[in-house]
Structure formats: structure tokens, C-alpha cells
Amino acid sequence: MGQVRAMRSIDEMLEGLKTRGELLTEKEIRGVIARAKEIFLEECNVVHLSSPVTVAGDIHGQFYDLLTLFEIGGELPQTSYIFLGDYVDRGGNSVETLLYLVLLKLKWPSRITLLRGNHESRQITQVYGFYRECLRKYGTPTVWRLCTELFDYLVVGALVDQRVLCIHGGLSPEVKLLDDLAGIQRLGEIPDVGAFGDIVWSDPSSLVEAWAVNPRGAGYLFGERVANEFCHLNDLDLIARAHQLAMDGYLYQFDSVVTVWSAPNYCYRCGNVGAIMRLTKHDPSFAIFTQRPQTQPPPEPTQPPTYFL
């Protein structure tokens, strides 16, 4: 009979993923997720943080580009991070991406904040690749089930210096004040309608004055007037979000809303760069990075890109 591998430490699992692309065993994943749930459960819906902190947008399973992101932005614990969600789907290494971030959360819980995106969902991950990746790498849906249970515990926002609100998607007509975010019941699947769904699905639009139907089929389009009123009511300088491809890595839709995108050459074909945003007591600054050179061709995306999602 073959030897059963002993449970490794957090450092050993991180090093295995980073240097050898070594997957965690199902037993290790079960233990890691159980511990992570306890940490996330202690966090409020909106985590309050102080600068300096670095904000990262969608990763979408581009694990090797995530490693570049840390090289550009600085490793933990010297640098603190907020990740805005969408860790899985579309890229070929969603398992590695998600578990690497969760392991960092276990090691330095106060130095990394993980928000929930619209792809941290059972329904979406069954369509856009994560479910199939788990089946391909582990042979059963158990790892997918464990990971999607963890999604239910992720927070919905972060507030930096009481001045910058970080969320995945956008605003909701049901959220007038920051205190309204505290009332969201986040421990469960993201609902199709309501404040929680809007926060992870909505998009800013210069073509809209107030609110409009979102072509994605969930959330809303919201205009500059809505964004400015929300910032005024809540004494905010900026709303930082992800959720939409930005060819230059980041994009100011309005003075009060910036999109950060951290998956360079999205879907291995879009030709965009990635970016991270550094928040300090001064104006935000950005660092740009390109797709990491691979020793072999990147895996094909598991689903043709549907940019609305």
C-alpha cells in the first residue's frame, strides 16, 4: 500500500503551491476551509481597515499572474491587501488561486481581506469553469462543494480610513447608507435580487443618470449622480470596485468610482494589462503588470468569455 501523506503546515502548503504547483489533498482542503470559516465568521460584513493597503481586482483563476501581483505589490505581511472577489472561473488554475489566498488568510488574517464576488457562487461556478476544474483535478465534486461552502462566509465590503469603500460590483437602490450593508445576510448563496445581489453585480455607467436595468441580468446600472450622492451621504472620497474588464488595468468611470482589474491578458486572449491600487493617506496610486511568461502554453479557458458576467 502507498504511504498516506501527512498533513502539511500552512507554510509547506503555500510553498508547494508557489514553487511546484502542488495541489492540496482533499483532507488538507477540508481542514483549511474549516479553519478559514472560523476566521471569516468573526469578520463584519464590512471590514474597517487603515491605510496603507493595496487593492486587487478580479483574478479569475490566473494563479501565476497572482504570484506576479505579489511580486509587484509586495509580499505579506509587509504589505496588506484587499481582494475584491472573483478568484475563480475562466482561468485554468482557480483551485490554486483560491486556496493560496485562503492559506494567506490563515497565516496573516489581519493583513489580507477577501471580499465576495459574483463568481463566488454555486450557480455561476457550475457554468464558468470552477466546477469542472475541481472534477478534473480531484475526480469528485467534493472539493467544489467545500469551496462553495466557504464562499458563503466571505465579507461583502471593506472601508479604508473611513473614506474609501471597497466592494465587488456596485451600488444598490436598497443601500443608502453604509449601515445598510451591515444588515445584509451574507451566510448563504447570493440572491438574484436585493441588496446583496446588487452589490456584487451592479456596474457604473456614464450613459445612465440614476438607475437602469443591467444587461447582465442582475444588479443595476447606476450613474454619476447616484455615486456622488452615496459618497456625500456617507462622507466617502471614493468607491473602489472590480467586476469589469479594464484594458489599462484600472479605469475611473467617475471621479468617485474606480474599477481595478488584476487579471492581465484576461482569458488568455484579451491583451489587457493588470493593475493594483495602493491606498495611502494621499491620492491612490497604481502599479501595472503584464501576464506572467509561462514555460508552457497557458490552459485554454474553460468557457468562452462572456464579458457581461
Tell me the torsion sign for CA atoms 302, 288, 73, 171: negative
Closest CA to 247 of 211, 273, 221: 273
Q: What is the pLDDT of residue 4?
A: 56
Using alpha carbons only, give the angle 280, 283, 289 rounded to the nearest 5 degrees.
80
Contacts of 257 (CB under 8 A, 6+ apart): 170, 204, 224, 227, 238, 239, 241
Q: Please tell me the distance from the alpha carbon of residue 155 to that of residue 166, in angstroms, as a whole number.
A: 11
Q: Please tell me the distance from the alpha carbon of residue 304 to that of residue 301, in angstroms, as a whole number.
A: 7
Q: Which of 60, 119, 168, 243 is catalytic?
A: 119
CB 92 within 8 A of CB 301: yes
Q: What is the pLDDT of residue 276?
A: 98
pLDDT in tens, the chain (309 residues): 445 567 899 999 999 999 999 999 999 999 999 999 999 999 999 999 999 999 999 999 999 999 999 999 999 999 999 999 999 999 999 999 999 999 999 999 999 999 999 999 999 999 999 999 999 999 999 999 999 999 999 999 999 999 999 999 999 999 999 999 999 999 999 998 999 999 999 999 999 989 999 999 999 999 999 999 999 999 999 999 999 999 999 999 999 999 999 999 999 899 999 999 999 999 999 999 999 886 544 555 545 445 445
Report the Cα–Cα distance between both ends of the chain, in Å, rounded. Answer: 46
Q: Please tell me the distance from the alpha carbon of residue 91 to that of residue 266, in angstroms, as a whole number.
A: 8
Contacts of 78 (CB under 8 A, 6+ apart): none
pTM for this prediction: 0.94
Reported as half-sphere exposure (CB side, CA atoms, 13 A), residue 200 has a value of 27
For the question of residue 60 being annotated catalytic, the response is no
Q: Where are the beta strands (DSSP E) in the chain?
A: 46-49, 53-56, 81-83, 112-114, 157-160, 164-166, 203-204, 211-213, 220-222, 238-241, 250-254, 257-260, 274-279, 285-289
Q: Please tell me the distance from the alpha carbon of residue 136 to that of residue 68, in angstroms, as a whole number.
A: 26
Report residue 212: phi and psi, to 5°.
-150, 165
CATH superfamily entry for domain 46-289: Metallo-dependent phosphatases (3.60.21.10)
Closest CA to 178 of 168, 163, 190, 189: 163
Assigned C-alpha cell, 14: 503555500
Q: Please report, as a single letter, which amino acid is at residue 284.
A: P
Contacts of 17 (CB under 8 A, 6+ apart): 23, 24, 63, 96, 99, 100, 103
Q: What is the pLDDT of residue 292?
A: 86
Q: Please report, as a single letter, which amino acid is at residue 289.
A: F
Burial of 238 (C-beta count, 10 Å sphere; 0-12/13-18/19+): buried
Q: Please tell me the distance from the alpha carbon of residue 155 to that of residue 113, in angstroms, as a whole number.
A: 8
Q: Please tell me the distance from the alpha carbon of residue 56 to that of residue 79, in angstroms, as a whole number.
A: 12
Burial of 96 (C-beta count, 10 Å sphere; 0-12/13-18/19+): buried
Q: Please tell me the distance from the alpha carbon of residue 29 to that of residue 148, in angstroms, as a whole number.
A: 12
